[in-house]
């Protein structure tokens, strides 16, 4: 017998305030565009297209599925507002054969009670983009939502132009967000915050059940997960683009791939999002923003940390104030790993900063610069090289890696694990998406295959090392809503 979805809907056991029952809108003429066969295996699903497409297009409710739209709030660009799943429907929580619990969500499946004035629909290009980018982040070894399928709905969706409608199936360990806790605390009160906290601990962090102060320990746990996530983003040059609190996951996964992009030339102030006019979510500002988001998270749980409000505030503040030193240590350790250093020593921070400063001053490509140190021979010097201005620094770097245990060989092995050779460069992403939306999926599939093996040089794909110098200067991303 084929393995079907095995739904178990624990989120619906929360108070009804946390969700609204809603069915996805059926698609008039569904057509499968992409199916993630590898993810199908990980989910222990054995279903053919005729079985899958009706469920993942919203035309059929699978056995055990009890669809809902989740309620949440959030600080969007610093401003607090009531939100909720305005164009997504949670079909339920699928249990794999090993008992792993994963949310199955349809994105772009039509209006919900939280849609406000929106149509709840999605268009093909942003759904293809999320599929590509989430898979790229997965193969880079960074926690993320995954994309199971993209299905064209067969209807027209009106944005700036008339576009093809599409639905994406998003898989995630859960869609619990900082914004979910903000909703619970500010629209439900302390009892709802406690209910959500207990649910979160049961589902994600059962080791905290017997904690002396579970609210404080939960903040500490989420802080560590989010610090590690942002460190990983910066390691590979990823710019999320819209780090609102409703896009900050409690489980420490990357999700919501709207105006995201990858860094080309190194500049910490780089922004590609059309709506981030003040640079709030610039590449180099991501650590500050995640700290800010974590402070909002801690605020929702203050009353559960101690009955004495003043003492509770002191406890929460002390916890958030640990962020800077912890993050700085992790940040330097990450760059040390990118440069082949296994243990930070006195003076390392200065020459790490010196290298980043040289990259910025001389406008060098972030990804290629780290790869060039290890594999200069793979580059066409007419397209990329570091140049003589880097020679004094490189001399110091060579002396430094010779001093580590295992010497140069061990250093290069460490660098290979931490520095992608291939990333989803904005030029190739846009080229692939344009072709795919016009019916030619070949460039999309080729790029996806390259990105499945990002840490190893693939001579046959050398063209993907470079993009036109001027492209990123004018490149702008959009949230797709």
The residues annotated as belonging to the active site are 246
Residue located via tokens 């906290």: 197
The candidate with the shortest Cα–Cα distance to 390, out of 347, 350, 357, 342, is: 357
Give one word for 371, left, alpha or beta, with left for phi > 0 and alpha for psi -120 to 50: alpha
Whole-number Å distance between alpha carbons of 469 and 481: 29
- Quote the DSSP letter at residue 444: H
63 contacts: CB under 8 Å, gap ≥ 6: 4, 5, 7
Q: At CB < 8 A and 24+ separation, what contacts does 372-379 make?
A: 373/339, 373/340, 373/397, 373/415, 374/340, 374/412, 374/415, 374/416, 374/419, 375/421, 375/457, 378/421, 378/457, 378/459, 378/462, 378/465, 379/465
Residue located via tokens 């989910």: 43
294 contacts: CB under 8 Å, gap ≥ 6: 178, 219, 222, 223, 226, 320, 323
Sort 4 into a burial class: Cβ within 10 Å, 0-12 / 13-18 / 19+: middle
Q: Buried b vs exposed e over 345-374: b needs ≥16 C-beta within 10 Å?
A: eeebeeebeebbebbbeeebbbbbbbbbbb
Whole-number Å distance between alpha carbons of 132 and 435: 14
The candidate with the shortest Cα–Cα distance to 429, out of 255, 241, 261, is: 261
345 contacts: CB under 8 Å, gap ≥ 6: none
Q: Are 286 and 240 in contact (CB under 8 A)?
A: yes
Question: How would you write 137-173 as a 3-class SS string?
Answer: HHHCCCCECEEEEEEEEEEEEECCCEEEEEEEEEEEC
Copy the structure tokens of residue 39: 């993810």
Whole-number Å distance between alpha carbons of 264 and 368: 9
136 contacts: CB under 8 Å, gap ≥ 6: 423, 424, 451, 454
Q: Are 296 and 179 in contact (CB under 8 A)?
A: no
182, 234, 328 from 335: Cα distances, Å: 34, 9, 11
């Amino acid at each position: 017998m084929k393995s079907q979805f095995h739904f178990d809907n624990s989120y619906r056991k929360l108070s009804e305030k946390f969700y609204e029952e809603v069915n996805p809108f059926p698609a008039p003429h569904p057509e499968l565009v992409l199916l993630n066969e590898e993810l199908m295996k990980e989910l222990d699903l054995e279903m053919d297209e005729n079985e899958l497409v009706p469920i993942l297009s919203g035309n059929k409710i699978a056995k055990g599925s009890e669809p809902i739209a989740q309620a949440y709030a959030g600080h969007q660009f610093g401003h607090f507002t009531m939100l909720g799943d305005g164009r997504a429907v949670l079909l339920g929580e699928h249990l794999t054969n090993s008992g792993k619990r994963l949310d199955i969500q349809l994105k772009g499946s039509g209006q919900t009670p939280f849609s406000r004035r929106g149509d709840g629909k999605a268009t093909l290009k942003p759904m293809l983009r999320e599929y590509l980018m989430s898979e790229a982040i997965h193969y880079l070894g960074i926690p993320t939502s995954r994309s199971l399928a993209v299905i064209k709905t067969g209807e027209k969706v009106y944005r700036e132009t008339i576009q093809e409608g599409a639905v994406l199936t998003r898989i995630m360990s859960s869609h619990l967000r900082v914004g979910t806790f903000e909703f619970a605390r500010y629209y439900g009160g302390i009892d709802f915050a406690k209910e959500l906290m207990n649910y979160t601990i049961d589902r994600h962090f059962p080791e905290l059940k017997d904690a002396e102060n579970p609210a404080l320990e939960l903040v500490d746990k989420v802080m560590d997960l989010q610090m590690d996530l942002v460190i990983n983003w910066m390691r590979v040059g990823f710019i999320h683009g819209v780090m609102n609190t409703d896009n900050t996951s409690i489980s420490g996964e990357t999700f919501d791939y709207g105006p995201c992009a990858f860094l080309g030339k190194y500049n910490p102030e780089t922004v590609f999002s059309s709506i981030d006019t003040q640079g709030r979510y610039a590449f180099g500002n991501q650590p500050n923003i995640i700290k800010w988001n974590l402070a909002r998270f801690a605020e929702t749980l203050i009353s559960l940390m101690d009955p004495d409000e003043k003492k509770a505030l002191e406890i929460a503040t002390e916890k958030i104030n640990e962020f800077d030193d912890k993050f700085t240590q992790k940040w330097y350790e990450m760059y040390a790993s990118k440069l082949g250093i296994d243990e930070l020593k006195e003076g390392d921070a200065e020459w790490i900063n010196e290298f980043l400063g040289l990259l910025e001053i001389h406008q060098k490509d972030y990804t290629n610069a780290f790869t060039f140190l290890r594999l200069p021979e793979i580059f066409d010097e007419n397209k990329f090289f570091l140049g003589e201005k880097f020679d004094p620094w490189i001399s110091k770097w060579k002396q430094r890696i010779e001093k580590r245990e295992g010497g140069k060989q061990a250093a290069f092995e460490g660098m290979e694990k931490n520095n992608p050779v291939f990333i989803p460069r904005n030029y190739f992403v846009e080229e692939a998406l344009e072709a795919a939306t016009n019916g030619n999926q070949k460039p999309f599939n080729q790029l996806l295959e390259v990105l499945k093996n990002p840490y190893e040089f693939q001579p046959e794909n050398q063209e993907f090392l470079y993009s036109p110098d001027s492209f990123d200067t004018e490149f702008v991303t959009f949230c797709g809503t």
